[in-house]
Amino acid sequence: MTLSRQRIAILGGGPGGYEAALVAAQLGAEVIVVDSDGLGGACVLTDCVPSKSLIETSNAMTLLNRAGGLGIATGGLATVNATRLYERITDLARAQSRDITARVAAEGVTVITGHGRLAGPGMVRAGQAEIKADAILVATGAMPRVLPGAEPDGERIVTWRQLYDLTELPRDLIVVGSGVTGAEFASAYQALGSRVTLVSSRDRVLPHEDEDAASHIEEVFRRRGMTVLGRSRALSVRRDEDGDGVVVTLDDGRALTGSHCLLTVGMIPRTEGCGLDEAGVKVDARGFIEVDRVSRTSVPGVYAAGDCTGVQMLASVAAMQGRIAMWHALGEAVHPIRLDHVAATIFTDPEIATVGLTQRAVTAGEVSARVLKLPLATNPRAKMAGVTDGFVKLLSSPGTGVILGGVVVAPRASELILAVSIAVEQRLTVEQLAQTFSVYPSLSGSVTEAARKLMEFTPDIP
Ligand SMILES: Cc1cc2nc3c(=O)[nH]c(=O)nc-3n(C[C@H](O)[C@H](O)[C@H](O)COP(=O)(O)OP(=O)(O)OC[C@H]3O[C@@H](n4cnc5c(N)ncnc54)[C@H](O)[C@@H]3O)c2cc1C
């Protein structure tokens, strides 16, 4: 006897939700996705995809403005057509959302547009529709945190989700918050031609990232003319008296003025009205849904994935949590998620890509490792391209030589990190990486060279 076809209900059509839907459909389940804002989610429509599209333009500007040094006469500084830029970004995002909608439909997934909520055991409600399901996945994402006294108005005081509605490039942009999102936008707008002030409440930008990489990028920011204010907390943000600028008041009493303020002070889970309380789904002190490593919540049959769990706010992690939930719910063999091998990139210029063990863990004495940092400036391809900033860092086990982690700071570090990622995942040794051919000349040559240097000698970090 075979079991009847399983029915899966998914709240949210971002990477956590739609990737889960594809897996569940592939496994033969009947799948219903309830989504309020468009498939692809905030990832595709307002966050990851638009920001990376903007950064592609800022990268092109960086190249253009460096062209003189490469022997190209451009006849002056390139400038940005903001309307065209933002149109391109929103068009791209919508097209990507349409592609995902078509893909999901082709797999036979039913999509209901609307706000969904848990409505009793094994039940989801979306408007008038009641969906009975064998398993439910909550993947409703997160939204920008708002500071009291610094409420966005969508015109001059904005979150990153409102940037693409602007009609001009901010002349004088104050970015509040120096985490990944703040650093990426500060870097991009600086390259696009805005005067940028980055307000960081911590000692340095990117406080949670590799210290060498963060200090390096801060130095690059300052060298390019950005004002970086460390240990400065924004207390309030308001429009100036004329209404065509902003005033940001800091906790030390200073008042910064600019044309626009971008708020990047974190995310809160988007779970209000989802019926979690009534269903008994446990959330943590900040409201994120508690899940285990196979995406189970505290309620049997209810899974959660992505930003609403606050596990690691990356599209790749959301998608993996969603897939794992479906494999688990539908009785497939499943490996619990491993967060220590997640490759991630901060898309500043240069980019900062990381994978595996961090130097912070080594310094804290949690793991012993050999660490080698190789500046990119000596790389022949970097010299040809006029690239002087960046480095490759590898961390290896002192006993076995197995590569445990790495950091790449370079143009397109997001691509270069794959070699280190494979090494970490496959437990390759420095010798194996060192003996691997890299192209001459190439930036990836610095990855194999770092491995060769790590074979020679490096002092153990206590
Ligand atoms: C500026 C920025 C840049 C980023 N860049 C990157 C990057 O380069 N790489 C990377 O890996 N990650 C990046 N991220 C993170 C990435 O965007 C998120 O991790 C990802 O969007 C999480 O996916 P999700 O499915 O959990 O949620 P979302 O993408 O937020 O999707 C959730 C969906 O659920 C819907 N929804 C919400 N509530 C309900 C409800 N009650 N009923 C029905 N539908 C509902 C929403 O409308 C939305 O469509 C970035 C984030 C930001 C803010």
Per-residue pLDDT of 268-298, as tens digits, reads 999 999 999 999 999 999 999 999 999 999 9
Please check the confidence at residue 111 and state whether its pLDDT lies above 90. yes
State whether the beta carbon of 57 lies less than 6 angstroms from ligand 1.
no
CA of 111 from ligand 1 middle (Å) equals 17
Contact 153, 240 (CB under 8 A): no
Q: How far is the CA of 306 from the centre of ligand 1 (A)?
A: 7
Q: Which residue do the tokens 């397109």 mark?
A: 412
Report CA torsion sign: 273, 277, 281, 287: positive
199 near 178, Cβ under 8 Å?
A: yes
Q: How far is ligand 1, taken at its centre, from the CA of residue 41, in Å?
A: 5
Mutate to test the pocket of ligand 1, among 314, 323, 355, 415 (most ligand atoms within 8 A of CB): 314
| Mean pLDDT, range 225-233, rounded to an integer | 96
The CA 420 to ligand 1 mean position distance, Å, reads: 27
Is the preceding peptide bond at 350 cis, omega within 30 degrees of 0? yes
Q: What is the pLDDT of residue 461?
A: 55
Kindly state the DSSP code that residue 160 receives in the 8-state scheme: G
Taking the centre of ligand 1 as the mean of its atom positions, its distance from the CA of residue 48, in whole angstroms, is 8
Q: Which residue has the tokens 């290896």?
A: 396
19 lines ligand 1 (CB under 6 A): no
Question: CA of 311: how far to CAs of 16, 80, 141, 418, in Å?
Answer: 12, 37, 11, 22
> How many other CB atoms are found less than 10 A from the CB of residue 271?
23
Regarding the beta carbon of 162 and ligand 1, being less than 6 Å apart is answered no
Which pLDDT value is given to residue 206? 97
3-class state of residue 271 by DSSP: coil
Q: Does the beta carbon of 14 lie inside 6 Å of ligand 1?
A: yes
413-425 and 445-456 are packed helices; what angle lies between their axes, rounded to 10 degrees? Answer: 50
Rounded Cα–Cα distance for residues 141 and 22 (Å) = 18
**Token output for 85:** 């830029």
Q: Rounded mean pLDDT of the chain?
A: 96
pLDDT of residue 422: 98
pLDDT at residue 26 tops 90: yes
Amino acid identity, position 428 = L
115 lines ligand 1 (CB under 6 A): yes
CB 380 within 8 A of CB 441: yes
At residue 310, the pLDDT reads 97
User: Please, what is the angle between helix 15-26 and helix 82-106, to 10°?
Assistant: 20
Residue 459 has pLDDT above 60, yes or no: no
Interval 360-366 mean pLDDT: 96
What pLDDT digit, counting tens, does each position of 125-139 carry? 999 999 999 999 999
The two tokens of residue 454 are 């790590």
CA of 28 from ligand 1 middle (Å) equals 26
Output Rg (C-alpha) for the chain, integer angstroms.
24
**Is the distance from the beta carbon of residue 179 to the nearest atom of ligand 1 less than 6 Å?**
no
Question: No. of H helices and E strands in the chain?
Answer: 13, 23
- What per-residue confidence (pLDDT) applies to 350? 97
Q: Which pair of tokens denotes residue 100? A: 């995902």
The CA distance from 421 to 114, in Å, is 39
349 lines ligand 1 (CB under 6 A): no
Answer yes or no: is the C-beta of 307 below 6 A from any ligand 1 atom: yes
Query: Is 83 a residue whose pLDDT tops 70?
Result: yes
Residue of 135, 105, 139 lying closest to 326 (CA atoms)? 135
Q: Are 318 and 382 in contact (CB under 8 A)?
A: no
Tell me: pLDDT of 460 over 60.
Answer: no
Residue 317 Cα to ligand 1 midpoint, Å, equals 11
CB distance 17 to ligand 1 below 6 Å: yes
pLDDT of 243 reads 85
Whose tokens are 């994978």? That residue is 355
Whole-angstrom CA distances from 358 to 97, 123, 366, 423 are: 35, 43, 10, 15
> Facing residues of 8 across strands?
31, 135
Report the amino acid identity of residue 83: T
In angstroms, what is the span from residue 308 Cα to ligand 1's centroid? 9
Q: In a mutational test of the pocket of ligand 1, which residue from 34, 37, 48 has the highest number of ligand atoms less than 8 Å from its CB? A: 48
- 3-state SS assignment for residue 27: coil
pLDDT, one tens digit per residue, over 417-438 is 999 999 999 999 999 999 999 9
**Per-residue pLDDT at 462:** 53
Residue 75 has a pLDDT of 75
SS3 category, 70 = helix
**Is the pLDDT assigned to residue 233 strictly greater than 60?**
yes
72-76, 308-312, 357-361, 414-418: lowest mean pLDDT where?
Answer: 72-76
pLDDT of residue 1: 60
Task: Supply the residue whose CA is at minimum distance from atom 20 of ligand 1.
Answer: 315
